[in-house]
């Protein structure tokens, strides 16, 4: 995909086969091409080459297939500000084929599912960012489409509401067989739910597979995290280095056979805290991102 007036490709040679009924995550940093990819999936952008298929049919050949079979939540989607939460959920259910009584039932189900009772009569323009995010999730999952595609579904949400999102998506997938596709830059959040993941870097897929399988490729390393405050960590030697994290923390991926030597080199009393644990999906992303940049 190349945007008009630009020479650099927003995504390049991506080939994905997402299985029916799975929970699939697309992981990448800002500018990796994630949003471009999902906008192509829902036929909002036409690829400059290649095609997107939904249940075997090119989405470009049947534009209504996406609107009737896919629930989509964009990263910065707008809603009809003048409508209340209850009204917009009712209208959406009607547009997706429900009768008036069916739409009322679906509205009430979604309000309960996404914990929107307190704001059901509030105009959408008066909602907080987190409340609006839950309304967008309710709209995407209205009438239980066979596929939902979510762009940063937990953005602007507090920890309690993030847990609600993951719980509801798991339940939707388990009970209805819904294919859940979501994109995120937060590897820690993604690891809670995904069955397979594609890691994007600069518009390309640099790794794809089940997290456990991908992790085996870096399982000879452990995660060493220091809480350093204003103290800079020393050089680790042997090609190892710390990566700065938020809130005065530093991270290094250390081969298991070098861990003892690294700990002896560090004066741990200089630091507020340290942790050692197995590699996470975030470490996996960093590993493949660094390999792609090499």
Band (pLDDT 50/70/90 cuts) for residue 149 is very high
The CATH number that applies at residue 256 is 3.30.70
Question: Does one domain contain both 111 and 59?
Answer: yes
pLDDT value at 92 more than 70: yes
Residue 53 lies in a domain: yes
Summarize pLDDT for 203-241 with one digit per residue, the tens: 888 889 888 788 776 667 788 888 877 667 666 666 677
233 and 154 in a common domain: no
Do 100 and 179 fall into the same domain? yes
Task: Identify the DSSP state of 119.
Answer: G
Q: Does residue 66 lie in a domain region? A: yes
Looking at 210, 241, 258, the residue that finishes a domain is 210
* Domain carrying residue 267: 220-278
**Distance (Å, whole) CA 215 – CA 198:** 13
CA–CA separation, 59 and 137 (whole Å) = 23
For residue range 235-294, list pLDDT tens digits in order: 666 667 777 777 778 888 788 888 888 888 777 777 788 888 777 777 777 777 766 665
Tell whether 187 and 238 lie within a shared domain: no
Q: Hey, how many other C-beta atoms are within 10 angstroms of the C-beta on 174?
A: 11
pLDDT tens across 177-212, in order?
A: 999 999 887 777 777 788 999 988 878 888 898 887
Strand 221-227 and strand 196-201: the pairing is unpaired
CATH (domain of 163):
3.40.50.300
Whether residue 250 is contained in a domain is answered as yes
List pLDDT tens digits, range 41-87.
888 888 777 888 899 888 888 878 888 899 999 887 666 678 999 99
124/240 same-domain check: no
Residue 190 lies in a domain: yes
Total of domains in the chain:
2
Q: Judge whether 58 lies within some domain.
A: yes
- Domain identity same for 80 and 114: yes
Distance CA 109, CA 114 (A): 9
| Cα–Cα distance for residue pair 270/293, rounded to 1 Å | 33
Q: Are residues 200 and 271 in the same domain?
A: no
> Are 39 and 145 part of one and the same domain?
yes
**Distance between CA atoms of residues 145 and 181, nearest Å:** 12
Q: Where is the domain boundary, 162, 177, 210?
A: 210
Tell me if 226 is assigned to some domain.
Answer: yes
Both 149 and 271 in one domain: the answer is no
């Amino acid at each position: 995909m190349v945007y008009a007036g630009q020479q650099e490709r927003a995504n390049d040679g991506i080939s994905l086969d997402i299985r029916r009924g799975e929970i699939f995550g697309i992981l990448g940093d800002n500018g990796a091409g994630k949003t471009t990819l999902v906008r192509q999936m829902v036929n909002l952008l036409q690829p400059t080459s290649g095609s997107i298929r939904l249940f075997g049919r090119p989405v470009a050949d049947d534009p209504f297939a996406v609107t009737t079979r896919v629930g989509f939540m964009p990263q910065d989607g707008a809603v009809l500000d003048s409508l209340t939460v209850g009204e917009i959920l009712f209208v959406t259910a009607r547009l997706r084929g429900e009768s008036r009584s069916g739409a009322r039932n679906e509205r009430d189900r979604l309000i309960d599912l996404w914990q929107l009772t307190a704001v059901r009569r509030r105009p959408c323009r008066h909602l907080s960012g987190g409340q609006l995010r839950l309304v967008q999730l309710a709209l995407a999952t209205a009438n239980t489409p066979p596929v939902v595609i979510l762009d940063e579904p937990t953005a602007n949400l507090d920890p309690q509401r993030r847990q609600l999102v993951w719980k509801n998506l798991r339940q939707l997938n388990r009970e209805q067989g819904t294919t859940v596709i979501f994109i995120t830059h937060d590897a820690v959040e993604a690891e809670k739910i995904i069955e397979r993941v594609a890691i994007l870097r600069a518009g390309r897929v640099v790794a794809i597979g089940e997290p456990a399988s991908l992790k085996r490729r870096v399982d000879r390393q452990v995660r060493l995290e220091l809480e350093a405050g204003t103290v800079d960590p020393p050089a680790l030697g042997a090609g190892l280095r710390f990566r700065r994290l938020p809130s005065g923390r530093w991270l290094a991926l250390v081969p298991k056979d070098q861990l003892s030597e690294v700990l002896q080199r560090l004066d741990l009393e200089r630091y507020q805290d340290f942790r050692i644990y197995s590699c996470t999906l975030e470490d996996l992303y960093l590993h493949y991102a660094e390999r792609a940049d090499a």
